[in-house]
Amino acid sequence: MVEARQERVLIAGGSSGMGLSLARTLLADGAAVVIAGRSADRLARARAALADVGDVRTIAADITQEDDVVRLFEQCGDVDHIVSTAADIAGAYELLPALDVAAARKVVDSKFIGPLLLARHGAPRLAARGSITFTSGIAAYRPAARGSVVAGVNGALESLAYALAVELAPIRVNVVSPGWVDTPIWQHVAGAEARARLDAMAQKLPVGRIGRPEDIADGIRFLMHNGFVTGTVLHLDGGHRLV
């Protein structure tokens, strides 16, 4: 009997939140996981947090910088799947007159340019039937005041995935679109009001609760492993688009 080869997965932005939960899920499945992120300290904390399920490899890299992305793939080598959950949205949730353009550019760089560079330099490293999964979000479908930049970038990222699914075939390219998920990013969005806002949204959603990081991890794992899904946005929003 031929022994199954260990699956190799690169997660950009996997040092916290949804990416960290995905790393835990995949390690428990027996995959070899590499987490890439900008902060060596956060990567070290992620590795310690995952020590009970496996030995994750970490590489410090800024996916918005092409030289860093090239070096990242030189270090991690060939992979079966690439996932990006990275997002730098600090300071971007502002009404248009108060919007800091530099903060807006950070959103574009982290959520659009970064994934584009991962696809550009990662596709040659991917298995023929491998996959790329990006992370957009509910703002593209239920935009709100102060959220114009994030809404716009999420929508652009999904259109990018559609085009890359055609260009990079048979590599599969998909997007997971989370709703409101209880992750540390909410401290940047709402600060001290984060808990109250999450609880209020839970009462509105058809499922009666806010998302958990493991909910998104399960969705990404589905997109990685279902070989008949490409150019698709998987909505994991608890019914938020309906209310």
Cα-flanking dihedrals φ and ψ of residue 173, to 5°?
A: -125, 120
Return the sign of the alpha-carbon dihedral for residues 185, 186, 187, 189. positive
Catalytic residue list contains 131: no
Angle between helices 213-225 and 17-29 (to 10 degrees): 50
* Residues, the chain: 243
Calpha distance 1→79 (Å, rounded): 24
| Cβ pair 62, 85 in contact under 8 A | no
What is the b/e burial string over 89-116, where b = at least 16 CB atoms within 10 angstroms of the residue's CB? beebbbeeeebeeebbebbbbbbbbbbb
**Annotated catalytic residue, options 136, 148, 159, 177:** 136
Query: How big is the CA angle at 233 (ends 232 and 238), to the nearest 5 degrees?
Result: 145
> What are the E-state strand segments in the chain?
8-12, 32-37, 57-60, 79-84, 126-135, 172-178, 233-236
For the record, the structure tokens of 160 come out as: 């990018």
- 3-class SS of residue 179: coil
Which positions are annotated as active-site residues? Answer: 136
